[in-house]
Amino acid sequence: MAGDAIAYHETLAAGWTGRYASGGMRRRAEFFRASVLPRLQVGGDWLDVGCGSGVFTRMLAEAGARALGLDGSPAMVEAARSAGQGARFEVARVEDVGALDQSFDGAICLSVIEYLADPRAALTTIAGRLKPGGRLAISAPNRASTLRAAQRVARRFGAGRGLAYLDSSRHLWTKTELAQLARAAGLEVETILGFDPLAPRPLWPLISPSLWFLVARRPG
């Protein structure tokens, strides 16, 4: 994650886990648990790149993985370590993944690649640490999202701290573009699911969702 994004998330670490107790962040975590996690066939060694305070890392551990969470923010890693047992956490950036001395049965990288200077290089690096057949789940913002467009307009007109993440969020993708990005990193795309934190689920087929969740596999 780029330095400005890390600095921003450093300021949020103390209350980050608590944000998943309600609202859109809780719905995102519930969607991951119900709709994405079962597609990953979790087991063995798993990596969470950009783990934040470890909410999703602990889901991997609960599903049976030996889970390692990495984040560039020391404050986020401290929050993850203090939130409970079940997973390991280390301070490391996405760029450090290639230097890890082990391979993984799978990985997740959620709401991270939009902050990076070179998302393709990052995904290639993560894919390179997967064992043949290993799966990777990523989430990324939808270029055509009605919600994201409204947030950007609000931010330009001075909306406050709640939308400050947009200042360092660099990239957006259509569903097709995200699939192309994953394939360029050497991955086979298995599914791409849409998610919106505000619209009721029955309306999702009628709107352009806020986030994509992509599940891909390293060939072999």
* Kind and range of the H or E run holding 67: strand 65-71
Q: Give 143 or 8, the one with higher predicted confidence.
A: 143
Quick one: pLDDT band at residue 54, thresholds 50, 70, 90?
Answer: very high
**Token reading at 126:** 């993560």
Q: Which CATH number characterizes residue 91's domain? A: 3.40.50.150
Angstrom distance (rounded) from CA 210 to CA 169: 14
Structural domain boundaries, residue 173: 3-217
Quick one: pLDDT band at residue 154, thresholds 50, 70, 90?
Answer: low
> What pLDDT does residue 16 have?
82
DSSP string, 130-181: EEEEEEEEEEEEBTT-HHHHHHHHHHHTT--GGGGGGGT----B-HHHHHHH
Percent of the chain with pLDDT over 70: 86
Quick one: pLDDT band at residue 169, thresholds 50, 70, 90?
Answer: low
* 135 close to 106: Cβ distance less than 8 angstroms: yes
Residue 164 above 70 pLDDT?
no
Chain segment 76-106, per-residue pLDDT in tens:
999 999 987 789 999 999 999 999 999 999 9
> What pLDDT does residue 84 have?
74
Counted domains in the chain: 1
> What pLDDT does residue 196 have?
92
Q: Which residues of 179-218 are buried (b: 16+ CB within 10 A; e: fewer)?
A: bebbeebebeeeebbbbbeebeeeeeeeebbbbbbbbbbb
**Token reading at 112:** 């991270």
